[in-house]
């Protein structure tokens, strides 16, 4: 377990973590966060961060769903070590472990039929007893079963005492062993259960630290039963350190679901969130270092400690993410933002012009879509199409105002923000109007919209010739 001093106390093996997402069609941000924590923990200790794709549900695990995971992790900048492990390729090994436990007397064959088990559960429900397998074949001689009858292999769980986990996030959690039933390891058709597959893979991958969602805490007690049973059978079955990280909740305190909006990492990318902003936001969700708000990847690696992750669920706050994203946009490299914006604007976008305009464009945008929308005016063709609000501003009165502004600007020899500002301010004063009265129709004429960067920035970015042409196109004849 990690201590505050950053030492990997209590587990002297080199750190190996794993992230084990199931390909469900999207990379849930809650999972991405535990993946991030696993990855950071390994990087912090100079260990290995492994990736395992839990693709045993063949219906859902399409190549597309798997690619979504790889894309999302790559986009966030999380590179994992070694080749990813595909759980579905390891079914033989899972079965082998079940057979070994059977041979060692740590597991047994259960011939109970599905009907029999349903009846057992029905009775337990009627008697208000906990619903769990009652161990009916635990001590029975398999020869009592009918010839060739199908069977499952069940673990012989400990029945006495209790099991404690010193969870790096949750603290000490204890469960009485008699609350853990003899669960199935291998189904009658020879396929491994999820519970078996996870623990066999964790052990074979040499995982020392299991960092995952706290919805798996109960599973840990079962998985420990398998580990302990295998300790007498094979080398290398050491109990890992667990860290069960709370799930992410929505702003209303309920578990994050579709109702709260976007769930997948890809959705956030499509919303124009920068990867470094999502990285930082997920990192800060339930973990912190003093009151520092933003961390580079290097800082995160050097400071992250899983034992400092909050025990309580954290709330996802879209507004906060967008604000943070805005900060990251302002810090980001102009040419990089220009490339991203050009993709969003389309073929007619000019990256060089976007790069030049970026210091202005990026001052307000909270996401890349907003930024691209704010930049679109640069590439519009004359005559500009006016949106409804802009069209509403272009009254006869303001059209004649535009004509006089055009005359004034034609005489301007210094096409800079400062000179243009001084010029139009003086003109507004001469006319006894507020500057806004001039800026509104001007903005409409120059951009076709009512929202844009500052009007003097717009004039400079468009340049003298294009600005005057756009103004004249809207001015009174
Ligand atoms: N595949 C599981 C999930 O996506 C994680 C299993 C584990 O971390 O042990 O929830």
Strands 152-155 and 184-186: antiparallel
Atom of ligand 1 nearest to the CA of 18: 8
pLDDT band at 477 (very low <50, low <70, confident <90, very high): low
In the predicted structure, residue 343 carries a pLDDT above the cut 80: yes
The 3-state secondary structure of 43-92 reads: HHCCCEEEEEECCCCCCCCCHHHHHHHHHHHHHHCCCCCCCCEEHHHHHH
**Ligand 1 centre distance from Cα of residue 476 (Å):** 67
Strands 85-86 and 48-53: parallel
pTM confidence score = 0.90
As given in the structure block, the two tokens for residue 271 are 């919303």
pLDDT (mean) for 375-404: 95
**Ligand 1 centre distance from Cα of residue 54 (Å):** 7
How far apart, in whole angstroms, are the C-alpha atoms of residue 108 and residue 215?
Answer: 28
How far apart, in whole angstroms, are the C-alpha atoms of residue 304 and residue 12?
Answer: 19
Residue whose CB lies within 8 A of the most ligand 1 atoms, among 28, 34, 37, 54, for a mutation test: 54
Domains along the sequence of the chain with CATH: 258-331 (1.10.1160.10), 334-379 (no CATH), 388-474 (1.10.10.350)
Cβ 54 under 6 angstroms from ligand 1: yes
DSSP string, 364-422: T-SSHHHHHHHHGGGGPPSSPPPPHHHHHH--HHHHHHHHHHHHHHHT----SHHHHHH
Cβ 211 under 6 angstroms from ligand 1: no
pLDDT, residue 7, reads 40
In the predicted structure, residue 2 carries a pLDDT above the cut 60: no
Atom of ligand 1 nearest to the CA of 19: 8
Mention every residue, 6+ apart, whose C-beta is less than 8 A from residue 410: 468
Cβ 198 under 6 angstroms from ligand 1: yes
Angle between helices 368-375 and 351-361 (to 10 degrees): 110
**Ligand 1 centre distance from Cα of residue 477 (Å):** 69
Tell how far CA 216 is from the center of its chain.
Answer: 19
Tell me: the pLDDT tens digits for 344-354? 999 999 999 99
**Ligand 1 centre distance from Cα of residue 53 (Å):** 9
**CA 388-390-393 angle, 5° bins:** 110
User: Active site residue: 59, 128, 258, 319, which one?
Assistant: 258
As given in the structure block, the two tokens for residue 156 are 């012989």
Query: Which residue reads 């990379």 in tokens?
Result: 27
As given in the structure block, the two tokens for residue 262 are 């976007």
Query: Which residue reads 């946009």 in tokens?
Result: 329
pLDDT, residue 53, reads 98
pLDDT, residue 5, reads 36
Cβ 216 under 6 angstroms from ligand 1: yes
How far apart, in whole angstroms, are the C-alpha atoms of residue 141 and residue 158?
Answer: 20
Share of the chain above pLDDT 70, in %: 97
- The torsion angles phi and psi of 362, rounded to 5 degrees, stand at -85, 0
pLDDT, residue 11, reads 56
Tell me which of 253 and 366 has the higher pLDDT.
Answer: 366
Tell me: the pLDDT tens digits for 157-172? 999 999 999 999 999 9
Tell me: the pLDDT tens digits for 108-156? 999 999 999 999 999 999 999 999 999 999 999 999 999 999 999 999 9
DSSP string, 177-234: GGGS---EEE-TTSPBPHHHHHHHHHHHTT-SEEEEEGGGHHHHHHHHHHHHHHHTTS
pLDDT, residue 172, reads 97
Q: What is the mean pLDDT of the chain?
A: 94
Tell me: the pLDDT tens digits for 181-235? 999 999 999 999 999 999 999 999 999 999 999 999 999 999 999 999 999 999 9
In the predicted structure, residue 3 carries a pLDDT above the cut 70: no
pLDDT, residue 263, reads 85
Atom of ligand 1 nearest to the CA of 219: 9
Tell me: the pLDDT tens digits for 38-51? 999 999 999 999 99
pLDDT (mean) for 375-392: 94
Catalytic annotation present for 258? yes
Cβ 212 under 6 angstroms from ligand 1: yes
**Ligand 1 centre distance from Cα of residue 212 (Å):** 7
Tell me: the pLDDT tens digits for 236-293? 999 999 999 998 998 888 888 877 777 899 999 999 999 999 999 999 999 999 999 9
pLDDT (mean) for 357-376: 94
pLDDT, residue 256, reads 83
As given in the structure block, the two tokens for residue 8 are 């990997």
In the predicted structure, residue 1 carries a pLDDT above the cut 70: no
């Amino acid at each position: 377990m990690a201590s505050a001093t950053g030492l990997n106390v209590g587990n002297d093996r080199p750190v190996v973590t794993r992230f084990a997402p199931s390909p469900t069609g999207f990379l849930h941000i809650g999972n991405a966060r535990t993946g991030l924590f696993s990855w950071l923990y390994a990087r912090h200790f100079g260990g290995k961060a492994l990736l395992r794709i839990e693709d045993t549900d063949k219906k859902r695990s399409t190549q597309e769903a798997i690619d979504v995971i790889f894309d999302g992790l790559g986009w966030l900048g999380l590179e994992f070590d070694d080749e990813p492990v595909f759980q579905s390729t390891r079914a033989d090994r899972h079965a082998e472990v079940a057979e070994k436990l059977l041979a060692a007397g740590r597991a047994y064959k259960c011939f109970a039929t599905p009907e029999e088990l349903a009846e057992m559960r029905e009775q337990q429900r009627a008697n208000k007893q906990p619903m769990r397998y009652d161990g009916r074949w635990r001590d029975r001689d398999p020869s009592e079963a009918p010839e060739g009858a199908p069977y499952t292999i069940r673990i012989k769980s400990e029945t006495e005492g209790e099991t404690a986990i010193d969870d790096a996030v949750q603290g000490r959690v204890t469960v009485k062993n008699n609350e853990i039933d003899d669960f199935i390891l291998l189904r009658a058709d020879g396929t491994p259960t999820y519970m078996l597959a996870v623990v066999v893979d964790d052990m074979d991958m040499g995982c020392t630290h299991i960092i995952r969602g706290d919805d798996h805490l109960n599973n840990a007690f079962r998985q420990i039963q398998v580990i302990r049973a295998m300790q007498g059978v094979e080398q290398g079955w050491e109990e890992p350190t667990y860290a069960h990280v709370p799930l992410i909740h929505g702003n209303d305190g309920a578990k994050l679901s579709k109702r709260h909006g976007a769930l997948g990492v890809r959705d956030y990318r499509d919303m124009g969130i920068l990867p470094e902003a999502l990285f930082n936001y997920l990192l800060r969700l339930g973990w912190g270092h003093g009151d520092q708000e933003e961390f580079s990847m290097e800082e995160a690696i050097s400071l992250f400690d899983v034992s400092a992750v909050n025990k309580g669920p954290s709330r996802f706050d879209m507004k906060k993410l967008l604000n943070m994203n805005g900060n990251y946009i302002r810090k980001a490299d102009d040419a990089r933002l220009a490339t991203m914006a050009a993709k969003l604007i389309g073929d007619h976008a000019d990256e060089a012009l976007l790069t030049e305009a970026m210091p202005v464009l990026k001052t307000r945008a909270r996401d890349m879509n907003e930024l691209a929308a704010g930049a679109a005016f640069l590439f519009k063709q004359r005559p500009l199409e006016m949106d409804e609000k802009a069209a509403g501003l272009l009254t006869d009165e303001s059209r004649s105002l535009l004509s006089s502004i055009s005359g004034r600007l034609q005489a301007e020899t210094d096409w800079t923000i400062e000179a243009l500002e001084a010029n139009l301010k003086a003109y507004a004063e001469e006319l006894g109007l507020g500057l806004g009265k001039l800026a509104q129709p001007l903005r409409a004429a120059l951009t076709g919209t009512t929202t844009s960067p500052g009007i003097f920035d717009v004039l400079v970015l468009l340049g003298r010739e294009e600005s005057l042409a756009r103004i004249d196109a809207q001015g009174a004849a």
